[in-house]
Structures are given as structure tokens and as C-alpha cells.
Amino acid sequence: MGRACRVEEHDGAVVSATGVAKNFGQGERSLPTLASVSIYADPGEFVTVVGTSGCGKSTLFNLIAGLELPDAGEVRLDGRRAHGATGRVGYMPQRDLLLPWRRVMDNVTLGVEIARGDVAEARRRATELLPDFGLEGFADSYPHELSGGMRQRAALLRTILTGHDVLLLDEPFGALDALTRLEMQQWLLDIWERFGKTILFISHDVDEAIILSDRIYVMSPRPARIIAELTIDLERPRPPAVSTSERFEGYKRELLQRLGVIAPE
């Protein structure tokens, strides 16, 4: 099921990183993080990157978001070189980063405010979307009054309101309990299908990656390379019960083997 990644064959990709490398520090203190990483995402795809902690997944997302510059290789968004070009994707980091002194409505429109966009229109749009994000009746609440799942939904609403077609989600459910995480996975799939966004997602959870993704990239330990690319051929919608299927178990076994968790058969 796994295969090598060949970005050059996907000229229509909305996101592509080709042979990107990144080191931190200089001389003897240099830390090679990404060796030569190539990934892509087509319009409307849900693509997940998995790998061990510290292998460079977040660094890769920082390069795509324009927050870091690659030492080698190239990042393109909509076919245009994107090195250092911020504000072209929606980026949701691991923590929700809701400001505790701002109410929910003020938090979810913060990205538009920072970008000097139309805040009044963003507030109107947010009011329409609050029920879909499970936040109806909480527009005037503060973050400490929300559950963990509600905070993550607010953070994603903030990301969507920026209006970008590409969303980078860096392990957004990692801090949630198991049941809430399952609920959030199904909710995210519903939101993705409704809005038609292209999503690049980071996860340490193999089951989560399979449930959510069209394709999965597996990264090696640092300095990272892509060591496998799996296409997940499971019908959508994908209820939680799909995780008991034989095909699901096959994908899970291959991912665990690629990650070195279990020995190859």
C-alpha cells in the first residue's frame, strides 16, 4: 500500500514542498531537522503527516506557512513560490492560543482583525457559523468557560474565518480525552466536507490519521525524510466503526511497521 512520493507528477497541487531541507544553528551546533522532504496536496484533499515526536513535522508546516525559510528545496502554494510568504494559509497550531481576556466572538475574529480585514463582516459570518461549530450561545463567553473540545472548535472557526483555502492543522486534538477526540474527528470531517478546504494535518495517532485522511505521509526520525506515502481507500463518510474493518487494520499495521513500532511481517 505504501509507495514513494513523486511531487513532480502533480503540477495541479495547491500545496507542494519539493526537496526541502532545514537546519537550525550553525557549525558544530547545527541541528539538521529536515533532510529532503517532498509532499503535496491537491485541492480539497485531506493529507496527514505522521512521525515520531521531534522529527520535524511542525518545522515542515512552518516552512509551508512562510514562518521559516528552507535551506534548500522549494515550497509552492497555488503554483507560486512561497518562501517567507505569510498570510496565504490558515494555520492552527497545537495549542488553541485563545486570548483569555477576549470573549469567543472577539477571539474567532482576531485573525481577520490582525490582517486588517473586514471585522464587521467576520463577526456576521461568525454569528452564522457558531451553531455549526457547537458554540451557539457562547459568543460572549470567555475561553475558561469552554470545554477543551469547544476551545478547539473556536480555534478552527478563527482559522476558517481568515478565508484561506488551505488549512494547516498541527495536532489539534492531541490534548483531548479519547472520547472527545473521537467526536472531534467526526465533526472535523463534517466541516471539511462542507467547506471544501484543503487540509494538511499533523498527528501522532495512527487511527486518527486513517480515519481522517485521503493520503498519509510517514516521516523518518530527524533529519527527516518521507519514507512512505499511503493512499487510504476507505469510503466516505467514515463512521468510527470503520476502525474495526479488515482494510483499516491493514493500513494500521503498515503504518506501525513504517514507524518502527512493530516488526515487518
Q: Are residues 22 and 101 in the same domain?
A: no
Q: Are residues 135 and 211 in the same domain?
A: no
Average pLDDT over residues 191-220: 94
Q: What is the pLDDT of residues 178-192, one digit of tens each?
A: 888 899 999 999 999
Q: Are residues 154 and 172 in the same domain?
A: no
Q: Are residues 156 and 184 in the same domain?
A: no
* pLDDT in the model for residue 239: 86
Q: Are residues 73 and 100 in the same domain?
A: no
Query: Which CATH number characterizes residue 68's domain?
Result: 3.40.50.300
Q: Which of 112, 129, 163 is the last residue of a domain?
A: 163
Q: Are residues 235 and 175 in the same domain?
A: yes
Whole-angstrom Cα distance, residue 177 to residue 239?
Answer: 18
Asked if residue 5 has pLDDT above 70, the reply is: no
Q: Are residues 216 and 120 in the same domain?
A: no
More confident: 102 or 28: 102
* pLDDT in the model for residue 25: 78
Q: Are residues 260 and 184 in the same domain?
A: yes
Q: Which of 106, 135, 163 is the last residue of a domain?
A: 163
Q: Are residues 264 and 170 in the same domain?
A: yes
Average pLDDT over residues 224-235: 94
Q: What is the pLDDT of residues 93-118, one digit of tens each?
A: 888 899 999 999 999 999 999 888 89
* pLDDT in the model for residue 4: 42
Give the chain's domain count: 2
Mean residue pLDDT across the chain:
90
pLDDT band at 229 (very low <50, low <70, confident <90, very high): very high
Average pLDDT over residues 151-171: 93
Provide the sign of the torsion angle of the four alpha carbons 162, 193, 96, 92, taken in this order: negative
How far is C-alpha 258 from the geometric centre of its chain's CA atoms?
A: 20
* pLDDT in the model for residue 2: 52
Q: Are residues 181 and 59 in the same domain?
A: yes
Domain membership of residue 120 as a residue range: 95-163
pLDDT band at 8 (very low <50, low <70, confident <90, very high): very low
